[in-house]
Structure formats: structure tokens, C-alpha cells
């Protein structure tokens, strides 16, 4: 993944680069660096560790200049170190480069360049680009870059400057996101829009295989053969402040508490005014089209994959279409059985996850229709899919996904009801009831969030244990998987989700006295069965916290603690269960003193395989 920024204009470049990088740290944060042009030379400062380390160094010894590039890294080739941090330079420091992505043939290129006398200072794949620029120098940066791009293979977003051509910055996009910020007498590049919003709202999202030449006074775009291409900037209307922490100690907590609004926004305009049906104007499908779908493959990674598991139940229940849910990194290398009528649904908060994007492209290549559910307008996934449902969660900064998941669930329920109605697979009364129930979700979620102090107390106790188990049946199990993922990724406590009925086939051996077990019991049809499974763990002296419907007095007799959530239909239970699970993980992580928003080894947007 990694985040890149670039600036050219009248301001002190160092400040713009550091501010931009601070908005991109979600893309990686194991090292950072900047290169600033000043008085005939590049000055570089790079440092392993968080951006704060680099900022401190630069504060002590500022780099003066009005043009530069910067990078925040998530290591792929070469461990996090000062030497491996970007920007990278060639032997004579005539070129500096920042890169997001992977140069796939870098080994071979490195060998060839070494054989012709180049000396490498890092273990990265990126450094070959700097040496190639030196090797292929034509006396003109633009044509040299085009030549270099002919020989590098892989995925990249690049920012490049050359000593011989001050006043110029080149940006290239191939399979990794990159945007241009257009200012007045100044211009910017960045991996994502928030990095430039402080300075400009006019941006251009570079298309696949485009190259931009930036000077202070203008931007010109080209294809990778060097032909000029016309580009239309867009005006960003959303607020940069929305991306700030707004008084919460962590983005994650803020984002958990934003869920009622996020759900309201995602429902907005999608429930008919008469309250009887779902409208998805972005999917103007005919009845015929909907009826032709013979199967759906939902493909995603991480939390989005878990949302897909709930989506399967929603779609199979309401639309009666068989659904398979697959992990994108597996799907992309399989030979899945599809027909012309199979619909591929990709789910991705960022819309940039490399494996999900690859699965999308695979589906498109085999002629299948692709529907994307994503949170980022203009993302690669959104642009390449045939149909798009946007989840209006707003920017999600914390690495652990929260409000994006909840809005993905909403989108999937809406989609299931919409397609089910088109296919006449569901009776209108059921849809009308669902519409009514969905409309109450934001308010009910607010009630759920009011239980945060109790959850904090429980999490403080649970955080003393090195294990936790999350149990459920049916949809409760789908949510248990997300609950366990949340718990392990930010608290670093081993957490396992299990279908409650399967426990006795192995995992029960791990249940010992006092071990925390979180049991979901909201599937009415499976209530008795779930209760029996709870008794199995209680008999082994586990400490059981049940998540149950308000008013369920029975459950309290069988467990140590109950956390009640407002009653809704079992079908929508995931929307009620997830916030307590997120809060449990959050407070356990805080209790352990972890960096909640930036858990170790992880990154928000995984744009590499
Ligand atoms: C990373 C993030 C997760 C996210 C997953 C998929 O692992 O840390 O929170 O669920 O990527 O990301 P996507 O943007 O495709 O939903």
C-alpha cells in the first residue's frame, strides 16, 4: 500500500508534504520520508517509525524549498528501515522517486542495473525506478519516464523529480491510486483526496495508465505512450473536518459512534416514501435482468468479506438466488464455476484493495456483470464495476473497519430486498415490513451505543485474558466472525469465532475456567439450540457474556453477564450486535495500551497482494 504526496508551488514544501502524509498514514506507517528541492539539489530526510519521528527530525532541521515529494510506507520489499524508506534516488542523486505498489520484475532489473555498474542503497523494488531513470536518461525527463515505464512491470503510483528539470513533478498511475490536486499557482499529487483538501478542492483522479506533468502553473496529462489526454477535474464537496477526530480519543471510537448517522445516510433516498419498497436508482435493472441472475458470487477481503457472509443470508432469503461468498485473494486464483448470468458482487470499503480489484477484473474479463459495494466514490472498484452501490459511511480512518461494515450490511439488505422484489421472490408485505424495520435502525443503534460504559467495564476484565471465544448460530455466527476479527486485530488477544453447534468437535477443548466467551443469542428460531451450547461452555466454567434481545429474562439464568440490545427481527440482528462487539474490542485494546487506530503490522488499504 503506502501513501505518496508531492507539491510544487510557493509554500514551504516540507509543511505541505508532512500535512499530506499525516492524512495518508492509514495506508502504512512503518517509515516515512521526504525529498525537497533546494538550490540545485535534493535534500532527503527519511526515518523508520511513525511520521512523528520524521516530523521531529524535520522540525529540528527543516528542509527549505518549495517543491518536493513524500512517502509513508507499509513494507513489502525490504524491512522497515531508514534505508528502505522512500524517497529513493539513483547513484548520482539526479532523480528522486516515491512509489506505491510493487515492481514485479525488480529482481531481474536490479541484476541488470547492478551488472551495468549501478549501486543500490536499499532492498526495495522502488529503487530500480530511480536507477532506470539514470540509465535511460535522454536529456528530457518526460521521454525518459516513458522509456522506463516500458520496462517496469507491476502496479505503481509514482512521484518523480529530476535535478536537471527543476520546477517539474511527474506522476504516474498504473493499478495504484493517485490523484492530482489543482491549486492556484501550485499543484499537488497524493494517494488520496484528504491529503490535499487543506489546500484545494479541485482534484483530478488519474485514470489507469495515465501520467501527469505538474509545474506551478499547470498540469498536463498523457497516456503512457505520451499522447496528451483531456482531463476534467472534479470539485470535492465533502468536508475535510469530517476526517478529523472531533473530540474522540481515537478515530475508531468516533467512527463507532458515527454509525447511526452512517446508517441513516446509507438508507437515505433508498426507502420509498410510501414506506413499501426499496428504491435503488443506481441500479435501474429490468425485471428480466434480475430474473436472469442464476447465482451470485460475493468477493471481498477482511471485514468486507464478513459483511458478505451476512449478505449471503439476506440475498438467499429475500431473492432466492444461491450465493457463494469468497475471499478475494483465493477467488482470483481459482477457476470458479460461473455462467453468463452469474453476478459478481465485490465489497470494498476503500475500493482499492488489490485482491478485490483483481477479482473484479477477472470477473469482467470472463464477461460477467459486476456490482460493487464501496464507500469511496471514484475508487478503482467503483469506476471499473458495471453497477455501484455507495455506502455513505463517510471517511473511515481507523484501520479497524466499523461504520463501513455496518453500512455494507445495510446496502446488502437493500440490495437483497430490491432484487427479491424484482424477481417476485419475496412478497410485498415482507418488503414493507423490512423497510419499516430498517428505518428504525439508526435510533436503535443510538440505544446500543448508550451501553458503552458497561461494555468498557467488561472489556477491562476480559483484557486480562489471552483468549476469547465468540459463539453464535446462523447470522449470529456471521457477526461472531467479525467480532473476533475486531477483537484480535486491535487488542492482540487470540480470538476465535465458532458456530456454537460445532464447538464440541474440537474447540471445546480450549474452554477452561474463567475464559471469556461472548455468545450471541438473537436468532429466535435457534434460541433453544444456542442455549444448549452456552450450557456446554458454562459446564466447563467459562465466563459467558451473552448478547441478547432486550426483554429476554431467561438468558440471564444461564450466563454470567448479559448485554441487551433493542429488539428487532432476527434477520436484522447483525445491525444490533456489531456495535457492542466493536466497543468490546476497542476498550480491550485501550486497556492493553495499544495503538487502537494503527494496530501493529496492519494497514487500512491493502493495495498489494
Ligand atoms: C484491510 C483493513 C480491513 C478491511 C480490509 C478490506 O485489511 O484493515 O479493515 O476490511 O482491508 O478492505 P476494503 O477496503 O476492501 O474493504
Residue among 100, 155, 157, 160 at smallest CA distance from 132: 160
Does residue 28 register a pLDDT over 80? no
Ligand 1 midpoint to CA 400 (Å): 8
CA of 252 relative to ligand 1 center, distance in Å? 14
Q: How far apart are CA 311 and CA 318, in angstroms?
A: 10
Using H for helix, E for strand and C for coil, what is the string for 73-114? Answer: ECCCCCCCCCCCCCCEECCCCCEEEEEEEEECCHHHHHHHHH
pLDDT of residue 246: 64
Atom 2 of ligand 1, residue of closest alpha carbon:
604
Residue nearest to atom 5 of ligand 1 (CA): 302
pLDDT for the residue 77: 80
Catalytic residue among 2, 23, 46, 598: 2
CA distance 520 to 565: 11
In degrees, to the nearest 5, what angle opens at C-alpha 108 toward C-alphas 107 and 114? Answer: 90
Distance 405 CA to ligand 1 centre (A): 10
Q: Residue 102 has what pLDDT? A: 83
Substitution site in 191, 192, 353 for ligand 1 pocket (most atoms within 8 Å of beta carbon): 353
| Sign, CA torsion 286/291/297/298 | positive
Mean of per-residue pLDDT scores for the chain: 94
What does the DSSP 8-state code read for residue 278?
Answer: B
pLDDT confidence of residue 560: 97
For 516, the grid coordinates are 471469556
Residue with the nearest Cα to atom 7 of ligand 1? 302
Residue 37 neighbours by CB distance under 10 Å: 25
**CA dist., res. 327 & res. 305, Å (int):** 6
Structure confidence at residue 378 (pLDDT): 75
Q: What is the pLDDT of residues 549-588, one digit of tens each?
A: 999 999 999 999 999 999 999 999 999 999 999 999 999 9
Q: In what order do the strands lie in the sheet with 342-348?
A: 323-327, 295-300, 342-348, 369-374, 387-390
* pLDDT tier at 196, thresholds 50, 70, 90: very high
Which candidate in 254, 312, 362, 604 is catalytic? 604
Please give the distance, rounded to the nearest whole angstrom, from the Cα atom of residue 381 to the centre of ligand 1: 13
Interval between CA 599 and ligand 1 midpoint (Å): 13
Q: pLDDT digit string (tens) for 242-297?
A: 556 767 899 999 999 999 989 998 998 899 989 899 999 899 999 999 999 999 99
399 φ, ψ (degrees, to nearest 5): -60, -45
Would you say residue 179 has pLDDT above 90?
yes
Amino acid 175: pLDDT? 82
Inter-CA distances, 122 with 103, 107, 128, 177, Å: 14, 13, 10, 24
Q: Where are the domains of the chain?
A: 3-241, 246-439, 448-593
pLDDT of residue 329: 95
Residue nearest to atom 8 of ligand 1 (CA): 604
pLDDT at position 2 = 87
Ligand 1 atom index nearest CA of 305: 10
Question: For residue 482, what is its C-alpha cell?
Answer: 467479525
pLDDT band for position 533 (cuts 50, 70, 90): very high
pLDDT at 544: 97
Pairing of strands 202-205, 387-390: unpaired
- Answer whether 3-241 and 448-593 agree in fold: no
**Residue % of the chain over a pLDDT of 70:** 99
> Of 25, 26, 406, 605, which is best to mutate to test ligand 1, by the most ligand atoms within 8 angstroms of its C-beta?
605
CA distance 102 to 505: 42
pLDDT at res. 82: 94
Burial of 522 (0-12, 13-18, 19+ CB in 10 A): buried
Q: Say yes or no: CB of residue 329 within 6 Å of ligand 1.
A: no
- What average pLDDT does range 448-471 have in this prediction? 97
Looking at domain 246-439, does it have CATH number 2.60.40.10?
no
pLDDT for res 239: 64
Integer Cα distance of 199 and 389 in angstroms: 30
Q: CB of 259 within 8 A of CB of 579? A: yes
Other C-beta atoms lying within 10 Å of the C-beta of residue 274: 8
Q: What is the pLDDT of residue 506?
A: 86
Q: What are phi and psi of 171, to 5 degrees?
A: -125, 140
Cell of 564: 441487551
Q: Quick one: which atom of ligand 1 is closest to the CA of 400?
A: 9
Give the pLDDT band of residue 231 (cuts 50, 70, 90).
Answer: very high
pLDDT at 319 over 90: yes
- Read off the pLDDT of residues 361-385 as tens digits, 9 standing for 90 and up: 999 999 999 999 999 877 889 989 9
Q: Cβ neighbours of residue 484 under 8 Å, at least 6 residues apart?
A: 468, 470, 495, 496, 497
- Given a cut of 70, whether residue 174 has pLDDT beyond it is yes
Pocket of ligand 1 contains residue 589 by CB under 6 Å:
no
Q: Is 373 helix (H, G, I), strand (E, B) or coil?
A: strand
Question: 70-79, 174-183, 263-272: which range is least confident on average?
Answer: 70-79
Cβ of residue 302 lying under 6 Å from some atom of ligand 1 = yes
Say how many Å lie between the CA of residue 606 and the centre of ligand 1.
7
What is the rounded average pLDDT of the residues 444-448? 97
401 alpha carbon – ligand 1 mean position (Å): 7
Overall average pLDDT of the 330-353 stretch:
95
Clarify whether 604 is annotated catalytic: yes
- 228 phi/psi in degrees, rounded to 5: -60, 140
Instruction: Taking residues 463-476, report their average pLDDT.
Output: 97
pLDDT, residue 242, reads 57
15 and 45 Cβ atoms separated by less than 8 Å = no
Assigned C-alpha cell, 97: 522517486
Residues 6+ apart with CB under 8 A from 287: 422, 423
What average pLDDT score do residues 492-506 get? Answer: 93
Kindly give the distance from the C-alpha atom of residue 11 to the centroid of ligand 1, in angstroms, as a whole number: 35
Q: How confident is the model at residue 238 (pLDDT cuts 50, 70, 90)?
A: low
Distance in Å from the first CA to the final CA of the chain: 9
Q: Which atom of ligand 1 is nearest to the CA of 401?
A: 9
Taking residues 14-27, report their average pLDDT: 92
Is 91 in the active site? Answer: no
Q: Is there an atom of ligand 1 within 6 Å of 151 CB?
A: no
Does residue 213 register a pLDDT over 90? yes
**Residue 143, CB half-sphere, CA atoms under 13 Å: how many?**
5
Greatest CA separation found in the chain? 81
Alpha-carbon dihedral angle through residues 249, 303, 194, 374, given to the nearest 10 degrees: -140
**Stretch 386-405: mean pLDDT, rounded?**
93
Instruction: Give the model confidence (pLDDT) of 108-148 as tens digits.
Output: 999 999 999 999 999 999 999 999 999 999 999 999 999 99
Q: Compare 46 and 101 and report the one with higher pLDDT.
A: 46
| CATH class (in words) of the domain with range 448-593 | alpha beta
Beta bridge partners of 467: 494
Task: Give the pLDDT score at 1.
Answer: 63
Is residue 215 classed as helix, strand or coil in its secondary structure? coil
Ligand 1 lined by 301 (C-beta under 6 Å): yes
Looking at the CA of residue 381, tell me the nearest atom of ligand 1.
Answer: 15
In the structure grid, which three cell numbers stand for residue 600, read together? 501493529
Label the pairing between strands 95-103 and 88-89: antiparallel
3-241 classified as CATH 3.60.20.10 = yes
Amino acid at each position: 500500500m503506502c501513501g505518496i504526496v508531492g507539491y510544487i508551488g510557493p509554500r514551504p514544501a516540507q509543511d505541505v508534504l508532512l500535512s499530506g502524509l499525516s492524512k495518508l498514514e492509514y495506508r502504512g506507517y512503518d517509515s516515512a520520508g521526504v525529498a525537497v528541492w533546494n538550490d540545485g539539489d535534493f535534500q532527503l530526510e527519511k526515518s523508520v517509525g511513525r511520521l512523528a519521528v520524521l516530523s521531529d527530525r524535520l522540525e529540528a532541521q527543516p528542509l527549505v524549498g518549495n517543491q518536493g515529494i513524500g512517502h509513508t510506507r507499509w513494507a513489502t520489499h525490504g524491512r522497515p528501515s531508514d534505508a528502505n524508506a522512500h524517497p529513493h534516488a539513483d547513484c548520482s542523486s539526479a532523480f528522486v522517486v516515491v512509489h506505491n505498489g510493487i515492481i514485479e520484475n525488480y529482481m531481474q532489473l536490479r541484476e541488470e542495473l547492478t551488472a551495468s555498474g549501478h549501486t543500490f542503497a536499499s532492498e526495495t523494488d522502488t529503487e530500480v525506478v530511480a536507477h532506470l531513470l539514470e540509465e535511460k536518461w535522454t536529456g528530457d525527463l518526460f521521454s525518459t519516464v516513458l522509456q522506463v515505464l516500458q520496462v517496469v512491470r507491476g502496479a505503481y503510483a509514482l512521484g518523480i523529480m529530476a535535478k536537471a528539470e527543476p520546477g517539474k513533478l511527474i506522476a504516474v498511475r498504473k493499478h495504484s491510486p493517485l490523484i492530482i490536486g489543482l491549486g492556484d499557482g501550485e499543484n499537488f499529487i497524493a494517494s488520496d483526496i484528504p491529503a490535499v483538501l487543506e489546500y484545494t478542492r479541485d482534484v483530478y483522479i488519474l485514470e489507469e495508465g495515465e501520467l501527469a506533468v505538474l509545474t506551478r502553473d499547470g498540469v498536463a496529462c498523457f497516456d503512457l505512450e505520451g499522447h496528451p489526454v483531456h482531463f476534467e477535474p472534479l470539485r470535492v464537496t465533502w468536508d475535510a473536518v469530517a476526517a478529523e477526530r472531533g473530540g474522540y480519543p481515537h478515530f475508531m471510537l468516533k467512527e463507532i459512534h458515527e454509525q447511526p448517522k452512517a446508517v441513516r445516510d446509507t438508507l437515505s433516498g433508498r426507502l420509498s416514501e410510501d414506506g413499501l419498497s426499496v428504491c435503488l436508482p443506481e441500479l435501474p435493472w429490468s425485471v428480466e435482468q434480475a430474473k436472469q441472475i442464476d447465482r451470485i458470487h460475493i468477493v471481498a477481503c477482511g471485514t468486507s468479506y464478513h459483511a458478505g457472509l451476512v449478505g449471503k443470508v439476506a440475498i438467499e432469503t429475500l431473492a432466492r438466488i444461491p450465493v457463494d461468498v469468497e475471499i478475494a485473494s483465493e477467488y482470483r486464483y481459482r477457476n470458479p464455476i460461473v455462467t453468463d448470468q452469474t453476478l459478481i458482487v465485490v465489497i470494498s470499503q476503500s475500493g482499492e484493495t488489490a485482491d478485490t480489484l483483481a477479482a473484479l477484473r477477472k470477473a469482467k474479463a470472463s464477461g460477467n456483470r459486476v456490482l460493487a459495494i464501496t464507500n469511496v466514490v471514484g475508487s478503482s472498484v467503483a469506476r471499473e464495476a458495471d453497477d455501484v452501490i455507495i455506502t455513505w459511511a463517510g471517511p473511515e480512518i481507523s484501520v479497524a473497519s466499523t461504520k463501513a461494515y455496518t453500512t455494507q450490511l445495510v446496502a446488502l439488505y437493500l440490495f437483497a430486498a430490491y432484487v427479491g422484489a424484482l424477481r417476485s421472490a419475496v412478497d410485498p408485505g415482507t418488503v414493507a415490513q423490512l423497510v419499516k424495520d430498517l428505518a428504525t435502525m439508526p435510533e436503535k443503534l443510538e440505544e446500543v451505543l448508550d451501553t458503552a460504559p458497561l461494555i468498557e467495564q467488561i472489556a477491562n476484565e476480559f483484557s486480562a485474558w489471552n483468549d476469547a471465544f465468540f459463539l453464535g448460530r446462523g447470522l449470529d455466527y456471521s457477526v461472531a466472525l467479525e467480532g473476533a476479527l475486531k477483537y484480535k486485530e486491535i487488542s492482540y488477544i487470540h480470538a476465535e469465532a465458532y458456530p456454537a453447534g460445532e464447538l464440541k468437535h474440537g474447540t471445546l477443548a480450549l474452554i477452561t475456567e474463567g475464559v471469556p466467551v461472548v455468545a450471541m443469542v438473537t436468532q429466535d428460531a435457534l434460541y433453544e439450540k444456542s442455549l444448549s451450547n452456552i450450557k456446554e461452555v458454562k459446564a466447563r466454567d467459562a465466563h459467558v457474556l451473552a448478547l441478547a434481545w432486550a426483554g429476554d429474562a431467561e438468558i440471564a439464568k444461564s450466563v454470567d453477564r448479559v448485554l441487551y440490545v433493542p429488539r428487532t427481527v432476527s434477520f436484522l440482528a447483525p445491525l444490533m450486535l456489531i456495535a457492542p462487539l466493536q466497543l468490546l474490542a476497542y476498550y480491550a485494546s485501550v486497556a492493553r495500551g495499544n495503538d487502537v487506530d494503527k494496530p501493529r503490522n496492519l494497514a487500512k488499504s491493502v493495495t498489494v497482494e
